[in-house]
Structure 1
């Protein structure tokens, strides 16, 4: 019996991504060149005039020039006057850059619960220190891989954060998910489910085949598919 193993690149592999019950499922056709074609639906309830529409049911590596929004039935024309895509989802680095040049609190010790000899418990609040963010740090634009944060604490500068940064709860402009926005002009009111197609990067797949060839004229084979998303 002869065993043959082969790694064969294929063109594409279709895959359906399960979503939350309130969102439409996304069908992916994943190619083995670090990209995929995504297809989902967006409910449209348009009135005559200008409509503002958005969806967060998109990936963080969407290619804006590839976006197509249309009525799959062909009964309605979707007139997109403007399109904007924002993938700058909020994280600690984003917040540090937003508050660059400003003073915030840094938590140097979390709240603690102390218990006395009599069993009485007392909560000691978290300890914080004020620091001014001179430089947020992160990816550098001059070719260096990383810039250290520069923080002023008590009139002195240091190249590290004194603790966990604590930002005001009133911070505006927070983006929790990648968002695709349209300005759609329509001559009359219409309600339908539009089809949204786009190209996204960061996905790949490969197939591995295990072919078993016995001495008799019978062919058996097994295959494995491995998906990866970055």
Structure 2
């Protein structure tokens, strides 16, 4: 049976030339696939008896596709139809799950040139096919004509009866489907089997086109505690579907040797959302492995969200942090007065005592708070890195509106002008203003380069690191407060 496709007579004139190549033809009947050779065993997704997918953060997944297939004894080609369109063929491993060492893989080929009207025409470029025209006045078929395909670039150019035509009307009729053109991505393996009969075979391989990431939604309550929910977003752009798949997720930075991409088809994603029970978590080498509790379908070009976990009444603390220009020999007098706004931060401890204490994959945390009408309002977001149990979490949400400060350089003197050992003293006055109707505790952080000593301070300070000192100041409602300090700095 030949293959047929036709052009759109009524719509071709409306199409731009650049789109004619992809819009010109379509199939009017089901495709005819030539019968496989006698030694070829064909396996489709209908043979699938189990499917497990492990997805990594870095656009990488491990597929374990189990199928029940009858492979005769001896040497045969086995076609696995419906593998990932972005499979890494060099990673493929085929084995029998019930009869070890009975199958030996001799050769494998990955066919990813997928069947489309445009691709079919391209395969017949330079060859002669048939053209079936229709008499529009009588709606009857005219005699078949031979048409040599000259070009498929930005439209179709054919030679018919010694004349050149572009985008001819009618049906194209193809004698057969080219062997290297597939309706679905297909991995063909040449195997030698030492037994006969149906068996369960597992084809495992790495593929691009599958990825996941975590997102968090935090509801901030009046007592500063959080209700935290985590969602996992699964994305499939691998040019195949996955049905009833057991899905596991690996959090962590897996090292990969990056090669030049060979073929990447990105499609607009459909989206869906499902709820799930909390996943089980385990260690995998130096990474974390999450196993989703239920099997799911993941269609091609689909994005799906799955509930990862929820945690109620997570303890958090809000702080306002001021940070000024570093104190060093190069910018000491560049800004004698600075207007400062504090950064709003939420501090959390990832431990059981704080009602959390689980391995958190990296993602974006979006924080909401209810207004006086009880409506949830967005108040900021921050990125969360992979966070192990008992680690501290700092979320930066924005800048405070009602709290501010002014920092002035009151005095500056050089103690030693030796370029190899420059030493100076500087004095500052910082005036904090709290315009809120409630009290506020602020943290003032000064960054100091070189060897430094606080010689005088109107409030106690802590040495946070080799290059920073910090003051915690409590501001009464609708009030101002002043901090003064003098620092001696020795730098090179």
Task: Please give the TM-score of this superposition, normalised by the length of structure 1.
Answer: 0.65
Q: RMSD between aligned alpha carbons?
A: 3.4
Match in the other structure for 1:125: 140
Q: Report SS of the residue matched to 1:167.
A: strand
The answer to whether 1:49 aligns with 2:74 is yes
Match in the other structure for 2:173: 167
Task: State the Cα distance separating 1:198 from its structure 2 match.
Answer: 0.9
Match in the other structure for 2:187: 180
- Equivalent pairs counted in the alignment come to 192
Q: Distance in 2 between matches of 1:103 and 1:47?
A: 39
Structure 2 stretches lacking a partner, 5+ long? 1-43, 238-265, 267-492
Q: Distance in 2 between matches of 1:86 and 1:212?
A: 49
Q: Distance in 2 between matches of 1:47 and 1:129?
A: 45
Alpha carbons of 1:190 and 1:217: their partners in 2 closer, same or farther (altered >3 Å)?
farther
Contact kept? 1:104, 1:165, Cα under 8 Å? no
Alpha carbons of 1:50 and 1:215: their partners in 2 closer, same or farther (altered >3 Å)?
same
Q: Distance in 1 between matches of 2:229 and 2:151?
A: 55
Contact kept? 1:78, 1:186, Cα under 8 Å? yes
The answer to whether 1:134 aligns with 2:159 is no
Contact kept? 2:47, 2:67, Cα under 8 Å? no
Alpha carbons of 1:75 and 1:151: their partners in 2 closer, same or farther (altered >3 Å)?
closer
Q: Distance in 2 between matches of 1:47 and 1:79?
A: 13
Q: Distance in 2 between matches of 1:216 and 1:74?
A: 61
Match in the other structure for 1:95: 120
Q: How does 1:28-67 map to 2 (within 5 A)?
A: 28-67=53-92
Q: Distance in 1 between matches of 2:69 and 2:77?
A: 10
- Deviation sequence 1:9-53 (CA, Å, 0-9, x none): xxxxxxxxxx96553343322333333221111324444432332
Task: State the Cα distance separating 1:63 from its structure 2 match.
Answer: 1.3
The answer to whether 1:219 aligns with 2:226 is yes
Contact kept? 2:62, 2:207, Cα under 8 Å? yes
1:198 to 205, 209, 213: 205
- Deviation sequence 1:55-94 (CA, Å, 0-9, x none): 2131222111010112345744531112122122222222
Q: Which has the larger radius of gyration?
A: 2
Q: Distance in 2 between matches of 1:202 and 1:108?
A: 42
Structure 1 stretches lacking a partner, 5+ long? 1-18, 115-122, 138-146
Contact kept? 1:135, 1:151, Cα under 8 Å? yes
Contact kept? 1:23, 1:57, Cα under 8 Å? no
Contact kept? 2:130, 2:173, Cα under 8 Å? yes
Match in the other structure for 1:84: 109
Alpha carbons of 1:157 and 1:29: their partners in 2 closer, same or farther (altered >3 Å)?
same
Q: Report SS of the residue matched to 1:55.
A: strand
Q: Distance in 2 between matches of 1:190 and 1:168?
A: 37
Alpha carbons of 1:102 and 1:177: their partners in 2 closer, same or farther (altered >3 Å)?
same
Q: Distance in 1 between matches of 2:140 and 2:92?
A: 50
